[in-house]
């Protein structure tokens, strides 16, 4: 669910392609620097509830994420990537 949410948040003018890899937790973005910058990309990701190195998601937005996507203080070591939670 995180992958879909992050990539959907980056369906934005100036962004050609955004790919989130859940296994590595890396986001690859191809964008047009004259239309959007890295900081604005981080703002878009944070607005979807996910922290970046540059911008932290608002707590109320983060709190609305499904349990399987809560990454700040939760241990998900027993969950498989892509497996839906009952929460």
């981080």: which residue's tokens? Answer: 42
CATH of domain 2-69: 3.30.70.100
Please give the average per-residue pLDDT across 19-29, as a whole number. Answer: 94
The CA distance from 68 to 20, in Å, is 16
Host H or E run for residue 28: strand 26-31
Q: In the chain, which ranges are continuous DSSP H helix? A: 2-9, 38-47, 59-62
Is the pTM higher than 0.85?
Answer: no
Please give the average per-residue pLDDT across 23-40, as a whole number. Answer: 96
Q: For residue range 60-72, list pLDDT tens digits in order.
A: 999 999 988 888 8
């Amino acid at each position: 669910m995180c992958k879909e949410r992050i990539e959907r948040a980056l369906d934005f003018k100036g962004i050609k392609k955004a790919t989130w890899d859940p296994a590595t937790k890396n986001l690859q973005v191809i964008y047009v620097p004259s239309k959007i910058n890295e900081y604005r990309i981080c703002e878009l990701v944070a607005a979807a509830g996910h922290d970046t190195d540059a911008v932290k998601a608002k707590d109320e937005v983060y709190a609305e994420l499904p349990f399987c996507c809560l990454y700040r203080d939760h241990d998900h070591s027993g969950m498989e990537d892509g497996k839906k939670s009952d929460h």
